[in-house]
Amino acid sequence: MILTKRFLLLEAAIVWTFAGGILLFRGSVMLNASSGFSWLKIITCLSCGLIFFRLVFSKISRNHINRIINLQGDFHRFFEFFSRKSYLMMLGMISLGIFLRKSSIVPVSSLSLAYITMGIPLLLSSIRFYHRWYYYLSAIDSSIT
């Protein structure tokens, strides 16, 4: 399947939304099952997630967007919304998350907080992708004139 850069931005936004949503869902289910809901835990996760977005994911998502926009040519394969390095990193993170969940090395209550904390910057990053997707054509048009 051949796609435009604008569609690659939308595809990336959907993938980041899905990943963040899965982490938030799994984290909240594990939190309820292990130690119950606590506003203090949620506020801590939200604060840490926002800090993590600001310090790490903001730069990562900006780099991904710039990489997509700067791809040579107008049409690309559907999997080009990530670089090879990003696919390897994603595979490693997913594998580590599954391993930690299945092995019980980390207590479920702690793992649930990590899942929620990581889901927040992923969702915030997806908003940046949606924003860039939505304004992609108007940004190109304004830079031409």
Return contacts of 42-47, CB within 8 angstroms, 24+ apart: 42/116, 44/113, 45/113, 45/116, 45/117, 45/120, 46/120
The more confident residue out of 142 and 120 is 120
How sure is the predictor about 143, in pLDDT bands with cuts at 50, 70 and 90? very low
How sure is the predictor about 132, in pLDDT bands with cuts at 50, 70 and 90? very high
Q: Does residue 103 register a pLDDT over 80?
A: yes
pLDDT one-digit tens code per residue, 66-88: 999 888 988 888 888 888 888 89
